[in-house]
Structure 1
Amino acid sequence: MSGCPARYDETLGMWVIDEPDEVREVLLDPETFRPDNAVLAHTALSVKALRVLQGAGFTLPPTLANNAGPSHRPIRAAVARFFSPARVAAVEPLARRLVAERVTLAEAGLRSGAVDLVEVVAAEPPALVLLDVLRLRDVDVPALKAWSRESLELFWGWPDEDRQLELAHSAAEFYMWLRRRVEAARRETGDDLFGVLVELGLSDEEVCAVAYFLLIAGQETTTQLISTTFRRLIGRTVDDAAAVVETILRESSSVPTWRRITTAPVSVGEVELPAGEPVLLGLTGHGGPADLAFGLGIHRCLGAGLARLEARVAVECAGPLLSAVQAVEADPPMIDLLSFRAPKRLLVTLPGGQALIRTNVDRD
C-alpha cells in the first residue's frame, strides 16, 4: 500500500483511491460518493457517435449501477430474485455441462494445433447460463457477446472517433434489439427479465437500461474472470478450484476499478476532495478481501454468487486440460479498459506440438 489514501491522476482526470479500507468506506457512503458517473462514457463521445445513439433512442436513465434515487431499491429487489442462492445453486449442472462440452472441443482441437481457451471454452457458457437464469430464450449468443465487448469498449475504453462510430453502431443495434424485446413483453408479459420489469411499471427506457448492462455485466465479466483464472493456471495442477478463484478476485479480478463522484467536499484520510469530483476506486490487487471485487453496500454486484460458481466450475472442468497445455504467447493481447481487464485470447498447445494460431481476435 502506498500510504496515500487518495491521489489525483492527471491523465485520468480522477481521484484514485486504492487503499481497501478507504474504498470500503466510499462504497458504504452512497450519499457522499454517488454512482451517477458509474456508466458514463470515459472518453467523451463524438458528435457522429452521439447521433448514431440518438437515432436509436439510446438512453440510460438511472436504474441499477448508476442509481442513487428511490427507484433503485424496487428495481434491485426485482432483479435480485433471479440471482437468489437457490437459483444460483440450481444452475450449476447446466454450467458444468456447458463447460465440459467445450473442454472436449478444446481437447479435440489440440490434436491439430493451438486452441484459444477464451474463444473455445470461456466465452459462451456464462452467456448461456445467464440467459437461463433470466429465463430468456431466442437470443443470438454470438451477437450478444460482440455487443457486450463493444459496449464495454465504448463506455470504458479510449476509442478514437472512427472506432467510436463503429462501437456506437453496435450499441445502437443492441439497444434496438432490447426495445423489440420490451415491446414483445408489453404485448405478452412473461416471467422472464423483461416481463418482470414491465410488470414493475418501468418505462421502456428504464427496462432497456436495466437489461443493457445486466446482459453485459452478467456474463462478459464472468468470461473475463474465467479467462484471467485460466491464464494463471496454464501448466499448473489445481488442488482447490474455489481457493484459486478467491485468489484471482483478491489479486487481479476482471473488474479492477469502479467509479463514483463526490456530492460535497469530503476527507479521505487526510486528503480533501472537492465536490463534484470523479473518483476511481481500486477493487482488487491492493491487499483487500476477495469480496471487494464485487463492490459493497447497496450497489454490490447482484451476480457475485453466480460468477463465483461459474468460475469454480470452469476451473474444475478444465483443470486437467490446463495442467497439460503450454501457452503459445507469454504476453497475450489484453482487454485493457478503465474498469475491465482480461486476456483477449489464450492460445495453448500441447508440449512439443505445433502452434497453429486459430483465433478471431485480430485487434491487439
Structure 2
Amino acid sequence: MSGCPARYDDELGYWVVDDPVLAREVLLDPRTFRPDNAVLAHTPLSVKALRVLSGVGFALPPTLANNAGESHRPIRAAVARFFSPARVAAVEPLARELNTTRVAAAKTALAAGQQVDLVQAIASEPPALVVLHLLGLTEVDVPALKAWSLDSLELFWGWPDEDRQLELAHSAAEFYAWLRSRTKAARETPADDLFGVLVGLGLSDEEVCAVGYFLLIAGQETTTQLISTAFQRSLGKVVDPAETVEEVLREASSVPTWRRVTAEPTTLGEVEVPAGAPVLLGLSGHGGPADLAFGTGIHRCLGAGLARMEARVAVECAAELVAGARLVEEPPMIDLLSFRAPKRLLVVTDGNTGDN
C-alpha cells in the first residue's frame, strides 16, 4: 500500500494519511472523522499513572480540540476573542521586546566564548509570556509551565514506559491542580481573563480546566518548537524570516500530525476503513501548503496568526546571531507522535571553540 493515499501502519496502530488533499478533506468532515481521540493518550496509561491523575480529579471532557458537540462553538468563540487579529497585532511589540532582550544576552555570552542553547536562551519563554499576556493571566510560574507542557506532551503523545509515565503523571497532576486553583479563584472573584470568561460561560470546573490544560500548552510550547526549528534551519545563513517560517510550516512543522477517528465505515481515498478506526493525518512535510500545519475547518488552530507572528519576530530578532553561529552537537529531538522539534540547539560563534 506504499503508493496509496491512506495506509494502515501496524507499528503505530493508525490509518495514516500523508496526502495533504485527503488530510484536508478529512479535517473538513468532522461528522465522519470525529475528533474524539485528539487528546487521548497514545500510549495507554498505567494503573499507577491513572491513580495519580484521579487524585486531583483530572478529566478532559470535550471542549475544544476533542469536541464534536454543540458546546464546541460557544467555547471556541469565547477563546477566539483573545486571539483576534487586532490583539495579535497589538502584542507584536511585546514579542519583539522579549526576543530582543534575550538575543542581546545570548550575543554577550557567545562573544565571551560561551556555548548558548538557542532554545532555552531565546525560543523558550517569549511565547509563554505573550500568550499569558493575551489571556490576561498574571502570577504564573513560567519555568513550571514550560516543564508541565513538555511533560504533558510526552505523556499524551509519547511512548513512555510505566516508570516514566508515573513521573509524567505527577507533573500533569501538579499542572491540573494549579488549573483547579485558578478556576476556583475565578469563581470567587470574576475577572476578564481566560478563567473568568470560561466560568462566565457556565462551564463546569472540569471543562474550564480542560480548556486551560491544552490551551496553555498549545498556545506557547508548539510555538517555541516552531521557532526552534526555524533557528535550526537558519544557522549559518542569511534568511528571509517570513519565508523561513512558511518553509518550516510546510516541511517540518512542530505539529506534523493530528488524529481523528471514524464514526462509521467509510473510505480514505479508495481504501475502505471500518467504524472506530484511528486516523493519523500528516499536516506537514508531504507537499501541502504551509497553512495546513494549523489544520482547517471548525478545529483550525486558534493561534495560527499568533504563532506565525511570534516565529517571524523571533527569527528577525535573532537573524544576525543565528547566521554567525554553528552547532556544537547534533541536536537532541522532541520526537513524539504529533510534536517534533529540536530539544536543544547548543551553539558557538565562528572562531570560538566552545570549550570555555
TM-score (norm 2): 0.98
Q: Report the residue type matching 2:149 in the other structure.
A: S
Say if 2:88 and 2:306, in contact at 8 Å, map to a contact too. yes
Instruction: State whether structure 2 residue 156 is matched by structure 1 residue 155.
Output: yes
1:249 CA drift (Å): 0.2
The AA in structure 2 aligned to 1:126 is P
Partner Cα separation in structure 2 for residue 247 and residue 97 of structure 1: 25
Quote the residue 2:103 is aligned against: 103
What SS class does the counterpart of residue 48 from structure 2 fall into?
helix
Counterpart for residue 313 of structure 1: 313
CA contact (8 A) 2:113 2:348 kept: no
Provide the secondary structure at the position in 2 that maps to 1:91. helix
Taking structure 1 as reference, are residues 356 and 298 closer, same or farther at Cα in structure 2, changes over 3 Å only? farther
Q: Deviations over 1:299-350 (max 9, x none)?
A: 0000000000000000100001011111112x21000000000000001101
Q: CA–CA distance in 2 between the matches of 1:284 and 1:174?
A: 30
Q: State the alpha-carbon separation in 2 of the partners of residues 3 and 121 from structure 1.
A: 41
Structure 2 match to 1:232: 233
Deviations along 1:150-179, one digit per CA (max 9) or x if unpaired, are 000000000000000000000000000000
Q: Counterpart of 1:19? A: 19
- Where in structure 2 are the equivalents of 1:158-197 lying within 5 Å? 158-197=159-198
Q: Which stretch has the larger CA shift, 334-343 or 105-114?
A: 105-114
Match of 1:214 in 2: 215
Report the secondary structure of 2:260's partner residue: strand
1:293 aligns with 2:323: no
Alpha-carbon distance in 1 for matches of 2:184, 2:32: 37
One-letter amino acid of the structure 1 residue matched with residue 183 of structure 2:
V
SS of equivalent residue, structure 2 residue 23: helix
Measured after TM superposition, the shift of residue 267 of structure 1 is 1.1
AA aligned opposite 1:274: P
2:335 aligns with: 336
* Distance in 2 of aligned mates of 1:353 and 1:242: 30
Aligned to 2:199: 198
Q: Cα offset for 1:15?
A: 0.3
Report the Cα offset of residue 3 of structure 1.
Answer: 3.8
> What is the alpha-carbon distance in structure 1 between the residues aligned to residue 221 and residue 269 of structure 2?
35
Give the Cα separation in 2 of the matches to 1:3 and 1:99.
Answer: 44
> Which residue of 2 is the match for residue 345 of structure 1?
344
**Residue equivalent to 1:6:** 6
Q: How many Å separate the matches in 1 of 2:355 and 2:193?
A: 42
Instruction: Please show how residues 10-89 of structure 1 align to structure 2 within 5 Å.
Output: 10-89=10-89
Structure 2: give runs of 5+ residues left out of the alignment.
none
Check whether the contact 2:14–2:278 (CA below 8 A) recurs between aligned residues.
Answer: yes
Q: Which residue of 2 aligns with 1:283?
A: 283
> What are the superposed Cα offsets for residues 11-34 of structure 1, whole Å, 9 maximum, x if unpaired?
011100000110010000000000
Query: CA separation of 1:39/1:356 partners in 2, compared to 1, >3 Å: closer, same or farther?
Result: farther
Deviation at 1:5, TM superposition (A): 1.1
- Number of the residue aligned with 1:355: 354
**2:226 counterpart letter in structure 1:** L
Q: Which amino acid aligns with 1:60?
A: L
Aligned amino acid, residue 90 of structure 1: A
Partner of 2:128: 127
User: SS at the partner of 2:121?
Assistant: helix
* TM-score normalized by the length of structure 1: 0.96
Is the aligned partner of 1:94 residue 2:99? no
Find the aligned partners of 1:10 and 1:268 in 2 and give their Cα distance. 17
TM superposition shift of 1:356: 4.2
Counterpart residue identity of residue 225, structure 1: L
